């Protein structure tokens, strides 16, 4: 063991012995002083409980006297009719709220007994409190019924000097009364009856610990132990075998008194330890301090604090070693800083490459969609033109044949079926031809209010939506959203979006349409509560001839046409959807300014 450590341990041992001896001597003195003080306070509390009990008894007697003066009660007592008396007693007790309510005749025999709890007959003819009332003396007492304690008061019922009966009222001693006594005496209160605890302000007390307090021959202050804590207590008897026990905790007061002493002893101990550390530091300064600094330096470098300096300036071997250690630390910091700089540059380049790649991918997707749309449009136009003429001729022939065929014949039915299918083929070829004309033709562009266009489209489709049990909710900006556009083409875009929303809600639903201005663009948001779009189809919905509809309602060109129209307006159309949670389409068109033209 080092010499410095031996000195420090000797000083610590002496300080520890002094602190322990001082603590135990002080604890003994304070215990005796607190015990004497609490004994005086308990005697004073005894008087306080006595006054409190007398006041409560007086209040109970006054209450019973007030009730006994009731003319109706006197009349019922004079009649001695139990049925009438029961009705009156129940009526009176509704306002009184007593737990015990007893009416006797002039001989002390009960006419009515009202109890709030099941009970044995604890108050009967011959009970002292009723006997005193029969002798024209109102009185109060405390009794136990089952496991509850009641304060009762009895008063005679008289007319002039004639005794008609007695009235007895009683209230259960509640926790409120116990807590009130606790606040008045600043002590714990336990209500005991026949060595059993009825109520207590502290749940730690048990009947076995307080056994023997119900002893009218011994009303002195007693000391007892509860789980290692010392207490003083004195009983105040409310009646035979029923008492309030006023209790004070010596241990709690002792702990509160000794708390400052403990802090003082702790402060002294810390002060002596610091002094011992200073002495040991002076002794070991010449050798121990430089070594500790070098050890601390190795710890700091292991934590990543490169460039740490030991600040040792001695000219001996330890100083030389510290100098080389500092040089190594600085060199290591320079290398690490250089690596960190290279890492930062590499991260920046990676971010730039990722952004460029993402932009390139988006551009490629837009280019592929545009080229696909153009090629599809040309092919569609050629096929539609070549097919439309012969289909039209066949349709005319079938219509003529249908007119000439006799009614209610198999031939007429077959011709009707063929005409229906040719008509559907004609409609599909017209849709395909309109697709090419819409996406490739150049309409007149002019400034229009985007909110007005979508609002008019909604009005056109109002009846259709209503028939399909679809409720439309619109929220347009108050100020106009001027865009440079082809009004009819944008109407076609919004018509396609509304039609798709309708088809997505075959059982009805809600359609939400709103306009906004964001980042220099006018936005139209169309959201439905329909069946939604599966995740795997989100990248295909703008492709020509792609459709997910179970019935034949077109050739899957509506969204593809809409995509081409929006791109003609230098805009964007996006979709957000989850299967079963509806779909949201966002159309963005640049706001029009005087110097911007398409």
Last residue of a domain, one of 267, 284, 301: 284
pLDDT tens-digit series, residues 217-258: 666 788 877 777 788 888 888 887 888 888 888 877 777 777
**pLDDT at res. 420:** 78
**pLDDT at res. 254:** 77
pLDDT tens-digit series, residues 526-567: 999 988 888 888 777 777 666 666 554 554 556 777 887 888
In a domain, 139, yes or no: yes
In a domain, 23, yes or no: yes
pLDDT tens-digit series, residues 248-282: 888 777 777 778 877 777 777 777 777 766 766 66
**pLDDT at res. 349:** 86
pLDDT top residue among 164 and 27: 164
Query: Which CATH number fits the domain that encloses residue 581?
Result: 3.30.565.10
Beta strand pairing call for 162-172 and 100-105: antiparallel
Mean pLDDT of the chain: 79
In a domain, 1, yes or no: yes
In a domain, 300, yes or no: no
- Total structural domains in the chain? 2
Q: Residue range 498-517: average pLDDT?
A: 90
Q: How confident is the model at residue 374 (pLDDT cuts 50, 70, 90)?
A: low
pLDDT tens-digit series, residues 293-311: 766 777 777 776 666 666 6
For residue 154, is pLDDT > 90? yes
In a domain, 69, yes or no: yes
**pLDDT at res. 434:** 58
**pLDDT at res. 370:** 59
Q: Reduce the DSSP state of residue 122 to 3 states and report it.
A: coil
**pLDDT at res. 584:** 93
Tell me if 112 sits within 8 A of 82, measured CB to CB: yes
For residue 156, is pLDDT > 90? yes
Q: How confident is the model at residue 128 (pLDDT cuts 50, 70, 90)?
A: confident
Pick from 138, 155, 148: nearest CA to 242: 148
Q: How confident is the model at residue 597 (pLDDT cuts 50, 70, 90)?
A: very low
User: Among 100-104, 161-165, 411-415, whose mean pLDDT is lowest?
Assistant: 411-415
Expressed as residue numbers, the domain containing 1 is 1-170+253-284
Residue 287 to residue 318: CA distance in whole angstroms: 9
In a domain, 510, yes or no: yes
**What element of type H or E holds 169?**
strand 162-172
In a domain, 376, yes or no: no
**pLDDT at res. 369:** 61
Q: Reduce the DSSP state of residue 468 to 3 states and report it.
A: coil
CB pairs under 8 A, 24+ apart, for 298-307? 301/329, 301/332, 306/332, 306/333, 306/336, 307/332, 307/333
For residue 105, is pLDDT > 80? yes
Residue reference for tokens 């730039």: 352
Residue 332 to residue 326: CA distance in whole angstroms: 10
User: Among 8-12, 119-123, 401-405, 542-546, whose mean pLDDT is lowest?
Assistant: 119-123
Highest mean pLDDT out of 389-403, 410-424, 504-518: 504-518
Query: Which CATH number fits the domain that encloses residue 275?
Result: 3.30.450.20
**pLDDT at res. 235:** 86
Q: How confident is the model at residue 426 (pLDDT cuts 50, 70, 90)?
A: confident
Question: How large a percentage of the chain has pLDDT more than 70?
Answer: 77
For residue 324, is pLDDT > 90? no
Q: Residue range 144-156: average pLDDT?
A: 88
Q: How confident is the model at residue 483 (pLDDT cuts 50, 70, 90)?
A: very high
For residue 505, is pLDDT > 70? yes
In angstroms, the Cα distances linking 35 to 24, 225, 260 are 17, 14, 19
**pLDDT at res. 2:** 58
For residue 594, is pLDDT > 70? no
Helix 558-568 and helix 410-440, axial crossing angle in degrees, nearest 10: 20
Last residue of a domain, one of 284, 300, 332: 284
Tell me if 139 sits within 8 A of 66, measured CB to CB: no
Last residue of a domain, one of 269, 284, 299: 284
In a domain, 336, yes or no: no
């Amino acid at each position: 063991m080092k010499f410095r450590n031996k000195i420090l341990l000797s000083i610590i041992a002496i300080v520890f012995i002094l602190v322990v001896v001082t603590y135990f001597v002080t604890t003994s003195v304070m215990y005796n002083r607190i015990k004497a003080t609490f004994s005086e306070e308990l005697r004073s509390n005894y008087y306080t409980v006595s006054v409190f009990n007398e006041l409560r008894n007086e209040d109970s007697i006054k209450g019973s006297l007030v009730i006994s003066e009731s003319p109706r009660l006197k009349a019922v007592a004079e009649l001695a009719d139990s049925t009438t008396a029961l009705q009156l007693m129940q009526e009176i007790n509704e306002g009184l709220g007593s737990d015990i309510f007893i009416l006797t005749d002039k001989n002390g025999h009960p006419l009515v007994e009202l109890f709030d709890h099941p009970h044995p007959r604890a108050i009967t003819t011959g009970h002292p409190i009723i006997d005193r009332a029969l002798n024209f003396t109102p009185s109060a007492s405390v009794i136990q019924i089952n496991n509850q304690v009641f304060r009762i008061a009895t008063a005679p019922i008289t007319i002039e000097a004639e005794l008609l009966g007695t009235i007895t009222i009683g209230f259960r001693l509640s926790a409120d009364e116990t807590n009130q006594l606790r606040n008045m005496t600043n002590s714990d209160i336990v209500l005991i009856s026949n060595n059993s605890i009825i109520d207590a302000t502290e749940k730690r007390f048990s009947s076995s610990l307080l056994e023997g307090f119900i002893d009218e021959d011994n009303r002195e202050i007693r000391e007892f132990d509860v789980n290692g804590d010392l207490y003083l207590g004195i009983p105040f008897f409310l009646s035979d075998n029923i008492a309030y026990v006023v209790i004070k905790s010596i241990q709690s007061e002792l702990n509160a008194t000794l708390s400052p002493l403990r802090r003082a002893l702790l402060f002294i101990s810390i002060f002596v330890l610091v002094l011992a550390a200073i002495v040991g530091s002076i002794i070991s300064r010449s050798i121990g301090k430089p070594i500790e600094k070098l050890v601390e330096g190795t710890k700091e470098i292991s934590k990543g604090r490169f460039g740490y300096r030991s600040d040792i300036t001695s000219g001996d071997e330890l100083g030389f070693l510290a100098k080389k250690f500092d040089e190594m630390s600085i060199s290591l910091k320079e290398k690490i800083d250089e690596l960190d700089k290279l890492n930062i540059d590499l991260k920046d380049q990676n971010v730039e490459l990722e952004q460029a790649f993402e932009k390139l991918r988006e551009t490629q997707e837009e280019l592929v969609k545009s080229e696909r749309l153009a090629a599809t449009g040309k092919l569609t136009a050629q096929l539609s033109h070549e097919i439309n003429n012969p289909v039209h001729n066949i349709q005319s022939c079938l219509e003529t044949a249908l007119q000439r065929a006799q009614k209610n014949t198999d031939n007429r039915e077959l011709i009707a079926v063929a005409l229906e299918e040719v008509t559907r083929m004609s409609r599909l070829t017209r849709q395909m031809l309109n697709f090419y004309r819409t996406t490739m033709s150049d309409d007149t562009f002019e400034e229009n209010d985007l909110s007005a266009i979508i609002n008019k489209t909604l009005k056109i489709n109002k009846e259709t939506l209503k028939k399909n049990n679809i409720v439309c909710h619109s929220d347009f900006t108050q100020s106009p959203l001027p865009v440079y556009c082809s009004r009819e083409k944008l109407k076609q875009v919004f018509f396609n979006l509304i039609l798709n929303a309708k088809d997505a809600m075959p059982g009805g639903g809600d359609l939400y349409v709103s306009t906004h201005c964001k980042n220099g663009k006018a936005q139209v948001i169309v959201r439905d509560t329909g069946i939604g779009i599966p995740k795997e189809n989100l990248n295909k919905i703008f492709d020509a001839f792609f459709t997910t509809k179970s019935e034949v309602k077109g050739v899957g060109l509506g969204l593809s046409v809409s995509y081409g129209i929006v791109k003609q307006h230098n805009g964007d159309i996006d979709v957000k959807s989850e299967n079963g949670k509806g779909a949201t389409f966002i159309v963005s068109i640049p706001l029009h300014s005087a110097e911007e033209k398409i």
